[in-house]
Each structure stands twice: as C-alpha cells, then as structure tokens.
Chains A and B, each alone.
Chain A
Amino acid sequence: MCVGLSAKVVKIKDKGTVLVDASGAKREVAASLLDHLEPGDYVMVHAGTAIAKITDDDGHETDNLLDHLL
C-alpha cells in the first residue's frame, strides 16, 4: 500500500521542505514530520512526504538480523 523510496537529503528548504535525491532524481518533499534533518541524511519518502529518517544500507541490516537467527 505504501511504495517508499529511500533518498538522500541534499538541501534544506524553508517551511518544512527538503530537496531529496534518489540516484539522480530530485524532488522537494515535505519534511515537517521529521526533526533535525541535515544534508546527507537518508529518508524514506512516501507520497511526497519524508516519513522516516533511515540508514541507507538494507543489506547490512538484514545480514545482522539473520546472523543472530540462522
């Protein structure tokens, strides 16, 4: 239900807006749901809104989870 795209914050605009970059595709998205974003942070973008601050390395995370399990 919720296509999300991880993107890098490249610029802080005013009024709760940031410019994000997803491998070369740039768009202004709403950032008022998140505190203290800085250029270089990664966010999960859904429907034009940054919904979570994230790390960009899903591989590392899943490996850690699996290492404990299997």
Chain B
Amino acid sequence: MEALPEQITLAHGAGGKQTSALIHQIFERHFKNSLLTADDAAVLPRPGHQIAMSTDGFVVSPAFFPGGNIGELSICGTVNDLSCMGAKPLYLTCSFIIEEGLEVSKLDRIAASMAETAEKAGAVLVAGDTKVVGKGQADQVFITTTGVGEIVSQNPLSGAKAAPGDAVLVTGDVGRHGCAVLLSRDEYGIDAHVESDCAPLWKPVSAALKAAPDLHVIRDATRGGVGTVLYEIAHQSHVGIRLHSDAIPVDPSVAGVCGMLGLEPLYLACEGRMVMIVPKEEAGAIIDALSVFPDTQGICQIGEVTAEEPERVIMETEIGTQTYLPEPGTELLPRIC
C-alpha cells in the first residue's frame, strides 16, 4: 500500500489510491469496528425503541486547544445532543473537509481522539467521507458528525417542560471551552491555564435519568454558553428563570480572563456542560448521582424556575438586588469601555 506523505494533498481527496491509503491508514485504523465496512452505506441493527438523530458541523479554530481538539469536539457535540433527548448514542457518521497541506500526523491525532471519545460515549463510527479542498478554502479541517441514538428515558425530555418551582442545575463550571479556545488564538496576549471542558456526557446523563425519572429538561450548553440555553428554555417553556450570581461556578482563571476582556462567562461556550431542570425534590438525587463522575463532579444548583417574569432570566446579585441577565447578543468582543 501507498505510504502517506507528511502532508495532505489534493490527491488524497481525488478518490484514487492515495484516498484509499488515507482511509485505511488513518480512519479505518482508528475507527475499526464490525459495522464499518467498505460498502456504500452502513447496515445497522434496528434499535428496540424510538431513535433520536442529530447532526452538527465543527469549524473550531485552532483545531487543537488545551483540553481537546476538533476531533474530540465533533464526537462530544453530537453524542451530547443525543444524550439531551434521553437517547443512548449508538451510531455516528463523520464527514471531513480537509485543507490541502494539513499535516497527516495532526489528522491522525484527530482521528485517534474521535475513536477514543466515541468509545467513552458507547457509540461506534459506522461511515465517513473525506474531501480535500485547496489551501485557504478551509481552516485546517472541518468535521461534520451525525449521530443516531436510542431513546431510553421513560418520559420525553423537552425544553418546553420547565415548570415554576423546578431547580436549575449546571453540571460544572461554566465557560471553560470558549475561554480555552479564545486563549489559544492568542489575539489578546493573555496567558492563563484554562482547559476546555470538552467531554462526552452520556454516562452521567443516563445516571441522572435513573436518579430522577421525572427530569424535565436537559440542554447541552455549547455555543452561546449557559446564558443562551437558559433564555431558550425560558422562551420555550414561557417561564422565568432566577439565578443566584454567587452560586454560578466559574473557574478563577476564566473569571480573570473575562475580567480583563470585559466578557460574561455565562456566554462563553462549554462543550461538556449540561443545564438540567428538575422538580426541586429530585435535585438532590441528581446532584448525588452525578457528583461521582469526573466530568460532572462540579454539578450544582444555580437557580430556580419562576412563574414571574416569563421569558426572562433574572440574576440575583450578591448585594441582594435583581437584574436581568442580558439577552444573548452578537459576536463576543472584548471591551475596554
């Protein structure tokens, strides 16, 4: 078989010998499982229950950042979206858009992370596609993943089910992924030890479903952060959400970076954090159940759902006043003013 050079060339996307070398030596080697074949489509056993399906594109720049890389991210994003619906992730497909010139060793690390993360989530990669585009037409590598999961929760989860009195939980400190990526772009000369929270969360979510069968909402706080998710839920359920500012977990370094740049941690992306909304009598059971998993050990209650002020997120400040959490805005820009 043709040996791989150090960098990807347009020929690796042309469908010939070099394409098959790339597929064999990188993707098949890492993703190897009985459902992944050389045929045109994967043939899969039918799950016993309803299925959930989700797809997501990943274009993060840079592709490698402290705490993860685009490959790990592309699996976490999709398996976490499935998990939010109470679906156990089963099958994944992936589509790569690779920029000519990408080091093969980087692609190898990305594929290895994908395989490892999928295994952690209990899912398998069953089909994939590779395209190579010219220099400058993409930024290193873009990945789209699609996932199918089997609904295992007894009772359907939905962003429309938040009810007054419910507890609002977050599974760990907020804004770390967004902060880690921002720092690794090195645009503002700031240095801090912040690692992405990127993690596949099916195992903790499945434990939460067992501990609290009446869970109302689970939402993956990715782009837009926890703040955006809370506003989405407040709108969907037509309720208010009251947060306690001193209860919101923020890593001190993330707080320091946000302080320097004038950013709000609640609006920085997470990639391994769920917002959960549960009847308040079940909150304790979920917190106990999730505290034992390394990726969710920081779970805590940050507020509650209210009947007042529907569709608004209220922040109770440390001096006992109440303000609105600003609604999600546009591009996050550092400010000096």
In the complex, what distance in Å separates the CA atom of A48 from the CA atom of B188? 10
Give the residues from 231 to 287 in chain B that come closer than 8 angstroms, CB to CB, to chain A: 251-253, 255-257, 259-260, 262
In this assembly, does A22 line the interface, its C-beta being within 8 Å of a C-beta of chain B? yes
Known: A5-B260, A22-B260. A27 touches B190 (CB 8 A): yes
CB-CB under 8 A from A64, the residues of chain B are none
Determine whether the beta carbon of A3 is less than 8 Å from that of B252: no
Q: Please tell me which one of the listed residues B251, B257, B335 contacts residue A3 in the complex, with CB atoms under 8 A apart.
A: B335
Give the residues from 148 to 201 in chain B that come closer than 8 angstroms, CB to CB, to chain A: 188-194
Known: A24-B252, A46-B336. A5 touches B192 (CB 8 A): no
Determine whether the beta carbon of A24 is less than 8 Å from that of B189: no
In this assembly, does A70 line the interface, its C-beta being within 8 Å of a C-beta of chain B? no
CB-CB under 8 A from A34, the residues of chain B are none
Give the residues from 99 to 125 in chain B that come closer than 8 angstroms, CB to CB, to chain A: none
Q: Please tell me which one of the listed residues A3, A21, A22 contacts residue B262 in the complex, with CB atoms under 8 A apart.
A: A3
CB-CB under 8 A from B44, the residues of chain A are none
In the complex, what distance in Å separates the CA atom of A27 from the CA atom of B186? 11
CB-CB under 8 A from B193, the residues of chain A are 24
CB-CB under 8 A from B188, the residues of chain A are 27
In this assembly, does A28 line the interface, its C-beta being within 8 Å of a C-beta of chain B? yes
Interface size class of A (residues with CB under 8 A): 10 to 19
Least CB distance, A60 to chain B, in whole angstroms: 17
Determine whether the beta carbon of A22 is less than 8 Å from that of B336: no
In this assembly, does B337 line the interface, its C-beta being within 8 Å of a C-beta of chain A? yes
In the complex, what distance in Å separates the CA atom of A22 from the CA atom of B255? 9
Closest residue of B by beta carbon distance from A26: B191
CB-CB under 8 A from B337, the residues of chain A are 1-3
Interface size class of B (residues with CB under 8 A): 10 to 19
In this assembly, does A62 line the interface, its C-beta being within 8 Å of a C-beta of chain B? no
In the complex, what distance in Å separates the CA atom of A48 from the CA atom of B193? 20
Determine whether the beta carbon of B191 is less than 8 Å from that of A27: yes
Q: Please tell me which one of the listed residues A1, A27, A47 contacts residue B189 in the complex, with CB atoms under 8 A apart.
A: A27
Determine whether the beta carbon of B192 is less than 8 Å from that of A26: yes
Least CB distance, B83 to chain A, in whole angstroms: 31
CB-CB under 8 A from B260, the residues of chain A are 5, 22, 25, 27, 45
In the complex, what distance in Å separates the CA atom of A27 from the CA atom of B259? 12
In the complex, what distance in Å separates the CA atom of A3 from the CA atom of B336? 5
Contact with B along A20-37 (1 / 0, CB 8 A): 011111111000000000
Q: Please tell me which one of the listed residues A1, A5, A26 contacts residue B259 in the complex, with CB atoms under 8 A apart.
A: A5
Least CB distance, B252 to chain A, in whole angstroms: 4
Known: A2-B336, A3-B337. A25 touches B192 (CB 8 A): yes
Q: Please tell me which one of the listed residues B189, B194, B255 contacts residue A28 in the complex, with CB atoms under 8 A apart.
A: B189
Determine whether the beta carbon of A25 is less than 8 Å from that of B189: no
In the complex, what distance in Å separates the CA atom of A1 from the CA atom of B192? 26
Determine whether the beta carbon of B253 is less than 8 Å from that of A24: yes
Give the residues from 322 to 337 in chain B that come closer than 8 angstroms, CB to CB, to chain A: 335-337
Give the residues from 292 to 337 in chain B that come closer than 8 angstroms, CB to CB, to chain A: 335-337
Closest residue of A by beta carbon distance from B188: A27
Determine whether the beta carbon of A25 is less than 8 Å from that of B336: no
- Assuming A23-B252, A27-B189, A27-B260, what are 19 further A-B pairs, CB within 8 angstroms? A2-B337, A3-B335, A3-B337, A5-B259, A22-B256, A22-B259, A24-B193, A24-B194, A24-B256, A24-B257, A25-B192, A25-B253, A25-B256, A25-B257, A25-B260, A27-B190, A27-B191, A45-B260, A48-B189
